[in-house]
Structure 1
Amino acid sequence: MNLTDYVNRVSEEDFGLPFKHEAKWNPRLRTTGGRFFLTDGHLDFNPKIYEAYELSIFRQIVRHELCHYHLYFQGKGYRHQDDDFKQLLRSVDGLRYTPRLTPKLLFSYCCDVCGQTYHRRRRFNLERYRCGSCHGRLVLENRSYDG
């Protein structure tokens, strides 16, 4: 089954409406799961999301894009901030935001005097900053990933 057939099946099952345009894979997408194009009505989907997550997550992303699609062609509010969109998305159990593909790196710092720990997304100069509690020296403990 190709992507357009899958999107049409999801549209029929979850919305009770046909999907009459084309669905395509777009490997250039980085932070988004999919896109709806107003000009010709086609949908783009991120193949990395399909590979990284289970089919149920991808189906929720398809539902999200189909909310844009069906609301636009019905002449209702199809944008993220519109109440029509929010209500339809909730009713079909679509994802509001795409899950992250790359986890963010976390840096853990520990004070060598009082043991206070600090977690930061950015690395900083240990010579310049001190502990906020006791003004002791900070030591980089480890780097970890926030999934």
Structure 2
Amino acid sequence: MTNEELQKLIEKISSDVFGKPFLHASRFNSRLRTTGGRYMLSCHSIEINPLVLNIHGIDEMIGVIKHELCHYHLHIEGKGYRHRDEDFRELLKQTSSPRFCKPLSDESPKRIIYHLYRCLSCKLEYRRRRRMDVRKYRCGKCAGIIEEMQTVK
């Protein structure tokens, strides 16, 4: 699907579902990573992640377009267009628009790596996501010397 076809699709959905015209630009944006689309407040344009179409198909993309059009029309009308606003939630229900996009990656969440430290005096263990310089810190319980034990996945 090209940007021109996307523009026509958004204009058609806007007039059919909302009964209002979409008068601004739309395009695909492959740099979007975690979201299916976004509405740009400054220029009133809508950007859609092409992965939505590639992974989930046209029906999911239409849902994302309807979601972004809810932001668009409410913002243009001066009503509450944010996710937490009652106007936005009500328009989502009226238009059967999804509140969230389906996940765009098949990867499971990355496992967190912990660094394990232990006090030499009281044997209290510390797990940290980031490494720490053991020369700068002492044990919070007994003020003993801390040593790095291992990295835990």
Q: TM-score by structure 2 length?
A: 0.67
Q: CA deviation at 1:90?
A: 1.1
Aligned match of 2:66 in 50, 63, 68? 63
User: In the TM superposition, what are the counterparts of 1:89-108 in structure 2 within 5 Å?
Assistant: 89-105=92-108
Q: Which letter does structure 2 place at the counterpart of 1:122?
A: R
Structure 2 gap segments, 5+ residues each:
115-153
Q: CA deviation at 1:122?
A: 3.4
Partners of 1:123 and 1:78 in 2: how far apart?
35
Q: May I ask how many residue pairs the two structures share in their alignment? A: 111
Partners of 1:56 and 1:41 in 2: how far apart?
23
User: SS in structure 2 opposite 1:94?
Assistant: coil
Q: What residue in structure 1 maps to residue 47 of structure 2?
A: 44
Aligned match of 2:27 in 18, 24, 38? 24
User: SS in structure 1 opposite 2:108?
Assistant: strand
After superposition, the C-alpha distances for 1:80-113 in whole angstroms (9 at most, x for unaligned) are 000000000111111111111223438xxxxxxx
**Quick check: 1:31–1:98 contact (8 Å CA) kept in 2?**
no
Aligned match of 2:36 in 7, 25, 33? 33
Structure 1 gap segments, 5+ residues each:
107-120, 126-147
Partners of 1:69 and 1:2 in 2: how far apart?
19
Question: Percent sequence identity over matched residues?
Answer: 37
**Quick check: 1:89–1:95 contact (8 Å CA) kept in 2?**
yes
Q: What residue in structure 1 maps to residue 111 of structure 2?
A: 122
Q: TM-score by structure 1 length?
A: 0.70
**Quick check: 1:36–1:68 contact (8 Å CA) kept in 2?**
yes
Aligned-residue RMSD, C-alpha: 1.8
**Quick check: 1:78–1:85 contact (8 Å CA) kept in 2?**
yes
Partners of 1:88 and 1:44 in 2: how far apart?
20
Q: What residue in structure 2 maps to residue 77 of structure 1?
A: 80
